[in-house]
Each structure stands twice: as C-alpha cells, then as structure tokens.
C-alpha cells in the first residue's frame, strides 16, 4: 500500500494514524502540493492528498481510505452498533468542517475577519466538547473519530507554544482529550520529521492577521 502524502496535511495524518493503530505495513510518498507532479494529477481526480494506491487501484478522500483500511484489517476502530457508528461519522464530518474553520482562522486578513473566525472556531469546540465521554472521544477505546480529531488539535500544540489564543479555556473535556491523544504513539508519530518547523514557516508566511501575531 502506498499513501501519497503531504507534510502538513491533516487529512493525511488521519490516514497515517489509522494505518499505525492497525499495524498496516505501507509506504509513504510526500509530494509538494504547490507543484503537483504529473503522475499525481493523473492518479488523483480531485488533485488532493491523501490518495491510497493498492492492488492496482487508487482511492481518494481520507475518510474513504480510512474506512477501507478499517474494513479489510481486523479489530475495527468504529463502534459496532449502527446508530453509534453513524453518530461517530457525523462528528468526523464536523472535524472536517473544523479544519476548514482553522484555515479561515490562520488566513484571516484583518482583525474583523480574525474575530469572526475565532468565534466560529470557539463555537465548534464548544459543540464537540459536549460530546466527549473521556478520556478519548467514546471512553478508553481508540476509534477512527479520535484519529480524525487529533490533527485538529495538532495545529494548536504547535501554535500555543508561540501564542495562546485561549480557544480551549474552560473546555475541560477537550483539554483532557488532547492530552490523551498527544500521548498516543500513533498520534505523536503521525507527522513527519520537521513537522513543527514546517508548520511554523507555513503559518508565518500566510501574510495574515495570525501570521503577524506569531512572528
């Protein structure tokens, strides 16, 4: 199996975490998304990472990749009960919309847009906080939903070393969840060498309101 990856992509991290949790042997190829290689454009209909190449097929969209891996290897990381499984999938979608909100946060051009992005992000974190059972999303067992949210928090593990945006103040369930996620080897090693420095360079080069605060 080959996972075509990008160094900073949170959707790639999701797939890496699930592959690691399930002990699936695979190789990773990192590409530059601002200069997409022709072979990648030919293989990826949406031109987005990650893609998974396996048995002559190409899968795209991280959630599809993860669900496939979960299905073909033993010990599912989804709840067995259909309603609970569907509920997890709903909140995985919510993680994706939170990643979009993070993009708006770090790209906001001025204080007004930044304030709006902060309010939106905080509302999202308040919503997910109410759903967390602890210490992980649904108790002690690690699920795919934990892999989907870990990359959301990973941004802030780096950002908060430079500036505290106080986005998680009072959200005790998230605070506990983040601590448990980051202590997990699949999450800790779910990013490549040099991730933190690359992310800082990326954020500071946005020319945005947040870049200014991080400098």
Residue 140: is it exposed, middle or buried by C-beta count within 10 angstroms (0-12/13-18/19+)?
exposed
Binding ligand GSH (rule: CB under 6 A), the pick from 47, 139, 194, 212 is: 47
Contact between 6 and ligand GSH (CB under 6 A)? yes
Binding ligand GSH (rule: CB under 6 A), the pick from 16, 18, 49, 174 is: 49
Is residue 17 within 8 Å of 190, Cβ to Cβ?
yes
* Closer residue to ligand GSH in complex, CB, 66/171: 66
Contact between 11 and ligand GSH (CB under 6 A)? yes
* Closer residue to ligand GSH in complex, CB, 54/180: 54
Is residue 98 within 8 Å of 121, Cβ to Cβ?
yes
* Closer residue to ligand GSH in complex, CB, 102/108: 102
Provide CB contacts within 8 A for 18, sequence distance 6+. Answer: 66, 69, 70, 77, 144, 147
Binding ligand GSH (rule: CB under 6 A), the pick from 28, 48, 85, 198 is: 48
DSSP secondary structure letter of residue 139: B
Q: Which stretch binds ligand GSH (CB under 6 A): 19-27, 56-64, 175-183, 193-201?
A: 56-64
Determine the Cα–Cα distance for residues 67 and 76; give it in Å rounded to an integer.
Answer: 9
């Amino acid at each position: 199996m080959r996972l075509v990856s990008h160094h900073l992509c949170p959707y790639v991290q999701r797939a890496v975490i699930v592959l690691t949790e399930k002990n699936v042997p695979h190789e990773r190829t990192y590409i530059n998304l601002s200069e997409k290689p022709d072979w990648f454009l030919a293989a990826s209909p949406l031109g987005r990472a990650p893609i998974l190449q396996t048995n002559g097929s190409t899968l795209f969209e991280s959630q599809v990749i993860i669900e496939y891996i979960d299905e073909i290897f033993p010990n599912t990381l989804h709840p067995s009960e259909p309603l609970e499984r569907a509920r997890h999938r709903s909140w995985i979608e919510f993680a994706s919309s939170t990643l979009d909100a993070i993009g708006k946060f770090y790209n906001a051009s001025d204080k007004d847009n930044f304030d709006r992005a902060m309010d939106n992000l905080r509302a999202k974190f308040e919503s997910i906080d109410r759903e967390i059972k602890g210490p992980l999303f649904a108790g002690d067992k690690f699920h795919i939903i934990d892999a989907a949210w870990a990359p959301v928090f990973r941004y802030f593990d780096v950002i908060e070393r430079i500036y505290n945006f106080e986005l998680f103040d009072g959200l005790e369930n998230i605070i506990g969840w983040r601590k448990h996620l980051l202590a997990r080897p699949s999450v800790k090693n779910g990013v490549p060498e040099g991730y933190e420095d690359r992310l800082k360079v990326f954020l500071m080069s946005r020319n945005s309101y947040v870049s200014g605060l991080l400098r």
